[in-house]
Amino acid sequence: MRRVRLGMVGGGQGAFIGGVHRIASRIDDRFELVAGALSSTPEKAAASAAELGIAPDRSYADFAEMAQAEAARADGIEAVSIVTPNHMHADPAIAFLQAGIHVICDKPLTTSMADAERIAAAVEASKAQFILTHNYTGYPLIRQARQMVADGDLGTIRVVQAEYAQDWLSRKEDDGNKQAAWRVDPSKTGGGGAIGDIGTHALNLATFVTGLAPEALMADLQAFAPGRQVDDNAHVLLRMTGGARGMLWASQVAVGNENALTLRVYGDKGGISWAQENPNLMTFTPFGEPKRLITRGGAGLGAGAGDWTRVPPGHPEGYLEGFATIYADAADLIQGKGDGALLPGIGAGLEGMWFIEACIESAAAGGTWIPR
């Protein structure tokens, strides 16, 4: 099977999420990484490229040059992964979209609604695809949950409880913590902290699974760590289409939580619960019956049980495989083998940006409801 030629913007030495994207792109062997603008520091860009086996002439000093040069090559990249910090998503995304190169962009979309709308316009104007790596939607049981809701197994959705709790920012960040530094610098995040970094994931999971959209929200945001300028704890209430109600908690100061993204959905016929830290398991309770443990690829899931999964039930898949499924679907979409119906795109990105801005607006007003 032919591999999709891939480039990468950002993700040089020392970066975290770039490495994740690369592993995700390799797992199902659908991509080959052949070009990059891996760092804004030229030496680091070159060294990173060499480490990754990218030919020197395809290691670029900046994304604009890369977009132009690759678009001009017969063997130029077909897709690019954008893994820069959030405030540097928009310009490269637009550049590659304009060059007709498919864009796989890390989340959240960007750091302002203005930028978000610029990207959206570029997506609209381009024939290229735009995929936002809300990677948690790649977990097989999350897709299973979405299908169950769509099939009516839960009935009319009433209540959605979404949480994303971490504790790694419980203390004021050290100067040396690169991952922390930009996440708590409002000039680089656009003003949001936990709401953008992790809250958008929780919202995305809730809307992806339920098929419902937020109609209004109210938020109580706190910055608990001394001196912090962005929220590190967010309590959000949601009113969703169809009358469902939601609670969303995002925290980076909840001591004892590593990456506790959880989703619970309740309808008039059934309820489900799922937790990212043990993602191969989901509970499903039809009203009046015993709770069932649904496992990834396991018994009772019917014909599609093995979709989006590589190894048999009981052989756990994890974060990287879920991420890889986004990449595999992207490859299918790019190669015309799939419709990308399950892939988060510009719509999810705009919804996330609305969420961030509405939370900030609500909190600034003392906790009022903000309609969409």
Site for a copy of itself in 173-212 (CB under 8 A): none
Identify which of residues 2 and 127 has a Cβ nearer to a copy of itself in the complex. Answer: 2
Sole binder of a copy of itself in the list 78, 106, 321, 357 (CB under 8 A) = 321
Q: Under the criterion CB under 8 A, does residue 102 sit at the interface with a copy of itself?
A: no
Identify which of residues 97 and 169 has a Cβ nearer to a copy of itself in the complex. Answer: 169
Instruction: State the burial class of residue 5 (Cβ atoms within 10 Å of its Cβ: 0-12, 13-18, 19+).
Output: buried
Sole binder of a copy of itself in the list 288, 302, 336, 371 (CB under 8 A) = 288
Shortest Å distance, C-beta 28 to a copy of itself: 8
Shortest Å distance, C-beta 45 to a copy of itself: 17
| Among candidate residues 75, 85, 112, the one with its CA nearest the CA of residue 9 | 85
Q: Are 280 and 268 in contact (CB under 8 A)?
A: no
Window 44 to 73, contacts with a copy of itself (CB under 8 A): 51-53
Helix axes 17-27, 319-334, angle to 10 degrees: 60
Window 299 to 318, contacts with a copy of itself (CB under 8 A): 299-300, 310-318
Window 118 to 147, contacts with a copy of itself (CB under 8 A): none
Q: Considering only the stretches 87-95, 180-188, 190-198, 297-305, report the one whose residues sit in contact with a copy of itself under the rule CB under 8 A.
A: 297-305
Window 226 to 255, contacts with a copy of itself (CB under 8 A): 233, 235, 237, 239, 243, 245-247, 249, 251, 253-255
Q: Are 272 and 265 in contact (CB under 8 A)?
A: yes
Q: Are 160 and 372 in contact (CB under 8 A)?
A: no
Size of the site for a copy of itself (CB under 8 A): 92
| Among candidate residues 8, 31, 6, the one with its CA nearest the CA of residue 328 | 31
β-sheet with 260-267: strand ranges across: 281-286, 270-275, 260-267, 157-165, 245-251, 233-240, 214-222, 370-371
Sole binder of a copy of itself in the list 29, 65, 75, 339 (CB under 8 A) = 29
Sole binder of a copy of itself in the list 64, 71, 159, 181 (CB under 8 A) = 159
Q: Considering only the stretches 27-35, 41-49, 65-73, 100-108, report the one whose residues sit in contact with a copy of itself under the rule CB under 8 A.
A: 27-35
Q: Are 237 and 367 in contact (CB under 8 A)?
A: no
Shortest Å distance, C-beta 30 to a copy of itself: 11
Sole binder of a copy of itself in the list 260, 331, 333, 370 (CB under 8 A) = 260
Q: Which residues of 58-78 are buried (b: 16+ CB within 10 A; e: fewer)?
A: bbbeebeebbebbeeeeebbb
- Amino acid (1-letter code) at residue 261: L
Q: Are 252 and 258 in contact (CB under 8 A)?
A: no
